[in-house]
Amino acid sequence: MSFGNEESFDVNCDVFDDPVPIEVLLEMCRKGKVDIRDIFVSDITDQYIKYVSELEVKDYDNISSFILLASTLLELKSNSLLPKPVEVDENELSDQERFFLKMEEYKLYMEQTDKLRNREILNRFYREPVFAEDEYRIIIKNFDIDKLITAFSSLLEKAEFEEKQEEPKKIAKERFTVAERIIELIEAIRAFKVVNFFSLFEKDYTKLEIINTFLALLEILKQQVAAAEQNGFCGDITIRYTPLTDNFDTKAEEDLLVDANGYH
């Protein structure tokens, strides 16, 4: 199930839910039935200054915004009492006009807020998408016949080389990487359902192979493809397939395809 939001709204937002200065001022106008444009011929400025002076100082930043508005109010009011300057640029709004416009605009948004509140839908539920974000299909592109031939030739050469070797030599190189081992192990576990750790080695095993196999086993356990239990101290480890949690496919595909990087 998914909530309407990834984040539920059950967060304490009220901490910062105190009204901002302009809201306090608009509320005073509403209560006093004073039109915004009549604000300076009313006692709203005095009311507001009284309000600010009695504010409990919780938060200096907040207080300073109240004080800023108070000083703006005082300045505009004192200007409005003075005779108006004769010359005002046609295109320039007066500070007072600018203030009124802003108040009127904010008032409008406050009204819309109430209308939005009526439309707010709580407790919507959606379904999780069937495909998770990390699931994907692999599309093979860039089919190149030359690469196919090169890959094949390298195999041929290797085979010819093998042919020339009179006696098979012991190959010191590790016979499989951890990544290959993971894929082999998964195949084995899927096929046999239960596999014993000791049975994963042939007679001529090397230390490195045990390490690689063990690392592969750890990765498989991490991927939850299988579960493992040890039969007593130093005993064999039984690896049991856990089909319900096995989601290795896409990752393994990726691993297998990643080795394309070394090939050009």
Partner 1 sequence: MLTDIIEALLFASGKGMSSSEMYEGLKHSYTKLEIEKAMRELKESYSGGRGIILIEFNDSYQFQTNPDYGGIISDMLMKTKERELSKTLLQVLAIIAYKSPITKQEIEELRGTNSDYVIQMLLKFNLIEAIGRKETLGHPILYATSEEFLKKFGLTSLSELPDYEELLYKIKNNFDKYFQKSDELYRNRVIDTEDTNQDNDRAEAAAADIDCEETQEDDDMPDFLLGEDVIEVD
In terms of Cβ atoms closer than 10 Å to its own Cβ (0-12, 13-18, 19+), residue 215 is middle
- Interface residue with partner 1, options 53, 64, 78, 230 (CB under 8 A): 64
| Residue 262 binds partner 1, judged by CB under 8 A | yes
User: In the window 190-209, what residues touch partner 1 (CB under 8 A)?
Assistant: 190-192, 199-200, 202, 204
3-state secondary structure of 194: strand
3-state secondary structure of 42: coil
- Interface residue with partner 1, options 160, 166, 167, 232 (CB under 8 A): 160
**Which residue type, as a one-letter code, is found at position 82?**
L
Q: What's the min distance (Å) between Cβ of 36 and partner 1?
A: 13
User: What stretch of H or E contains 237?
Assistant: strand 237-241
For residue 165, the cross-strand partners are none
CA distance 111 to 101: 15
Q: What's the min distance (Å) between Cβ of 231 and partner 1?
A: 20
Q: Would you put residue 27 in left (φ > 0), alpha (ψ -120 to 50) or beta? A: alpha
| Residue 126 binds partner 1, judged by CB under 8 A | yes
- Interface residue with partner 1, options 57, 58, 123, 167 (CB under 8 A): 123
- Interface residue with partner 1, options 188, 210, 221, 228 (CB under 8 A): 188
| Residue 71 binds partner 1, judged by CB under 8 A | no
Q: What's the min distance (Å) between Cβ of 64 and partner 1?
A: 4
